[in-house]
Amino acid sequence: MTGFTASWLTLREPADAAARATDLLPPLRAALRPGPLVICDVGSGTGSMARWLAPRLPVPQHWILCDSDPGLLAHAHAPAPFQTHVGDLGTVDLEGASLVTASALLDILTFAELDGLAAAVTAAGIPALLTLSVVGRVRLTPPDPLDADLGAAFDDHQRRGGLLGPGAVAAAIEVFGRRHAVVRTRPSPWILGPAHALLAAEWLRGWVAAAVEQRPDLAPAAAGYLARRLADGFDAEIEHADILAVPGSAA
């Protein structure tokens, strides 16, 4: 599901943890059924969501880490009991689950996949905490004239093949809302300064490469842009949004 490498997930984990919207936790706790929790984390990678959320839910928990990449699941670890499941979104079984979670997943789904997830979650009558979906807004300091063209090309690249890309949050609000879930959204931006130089550089390389793949005409200017940014340093704010969807039966 993720399409990420273990090294990239490790590099980004501290920024993800700092960005997630903690003010969604009180309504999440209120929506959970009493007793031990069974939490299904879709697109789990190595389990970063479990490592972040498990200590913030002080009740007994069992996690099911679901990912299509067995290599990532081989590196999985969590501060709570867990099992792993290799499979795509269509193989996730929510019977007996208390909560569905995901991180950096929605924007790499199609509308049909997201709609299917919303249908399964609401049919099960359980909440979903879906974090760190990109929304298509990036601010780099100092600014550069090429920022806007690269950003637009990157967003188009994310939409390739019918993927939701930066439209994922709006689509999630629609599909959960249509099924009468209570949907809350909060911003969860990455704020990358000098202390995050390695992550920022790796993110920039990927951002520029995707933009150039989408628009090869940008390649000559993008090469100089990337070299300047990496040599001179930069700060970045990469906006994301977190979503808590609570079906009417659990609200």
Residue pLDDT, tens place only, 113-148: 999 999 999 999 999 999 999 999 999 999 999 999
Is residue 203 assigned to a domain?
Answer: no
Domain ranges, residue 67: 6-136+162-189+239-246
Q: Which amino acid, one-letter code, is at 132?
A: L
Is residue 173 assigned to a domain?
Answer: yes
Is residue 122 assigned to a domain?
Answer: yes
CA dihedral 216, 218, 221, 222 (to 10 degrees): -80
The b/e string for 123-138 (b: 16+ C-beta within 10 A; e otherwise) is ebebbbbbbbbbbbeb
For tokens 């090309």, name the residue. Answer: 153
Is residue 18 assigned to a domain?
Answer: yes
Is residue 222 assigned to a domain?
Answer: no
Q: Give the span between the Cα atoms of 72 and 186, in whole angstroms.
A: 28
Residue pLDDT, tens place only, 139-189: 999 999 999 999 999 999 999 999 999 999 999 999 999 999 999 999 999
pLDDT at 229 over 90: yes
Domain count, the chain: 1
Is residue 217 assigned to a domain?
Answer: no
Is residue 24 assigned to a domain?
Answer: yes
| Confidence grade of residue 88 (pLDDT, cut at 50, 70, 90) | confident
